[in-house]
């Protein structure tokens, strides 16, 4: 399924420090992966869980 997803890199990720996160949103899940090693498995959470995470991270 990962091949069918449209991944977006975080605007806070940079090449300098190696902190790279990519997200692919679907209607029923949000997939998250490390863009430095896309062969590793991604994980997924519900849209509500992702929204809660992003809300807390932005505080």
Contacts for 10 with CB less than 8 Å, ≥ 6 apart: 20, 21, 22, 23
Q: Provide the whole-model pTM.
A: 0.77
For residue 16, the model assigns a pLDDT of 67
Q: What is the pLDDT along the chain (59 residues), one digit of tens a residue?
A: 556 899 998 776 666 666 788 999 999 999 999 888 888 999 999 999 999 999 998 78
What are the φ and ψ backbone dihedral angles of 42, each rounded to 5 degrees?
-90, 170
For residue 45, the model assigns a pLDDT of 97
Domain layout of the chain by residue ranges: 2-57
For residue 36, the model assigns a pLDDT of 83
């Amino acid at each position: 399924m990962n091949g069918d997803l449209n991944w977006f890199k975080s605007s806070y990720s940079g090449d300098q420090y190696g902190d790279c996160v990519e997200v692919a949103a679907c209607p029923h899940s949000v997939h998250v992966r490390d863009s430095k090693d896309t062969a590793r498995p991604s994980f997924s959470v519900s849209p509500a869980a992702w929204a809660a995470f992003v809300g807390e991270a932005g505080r």
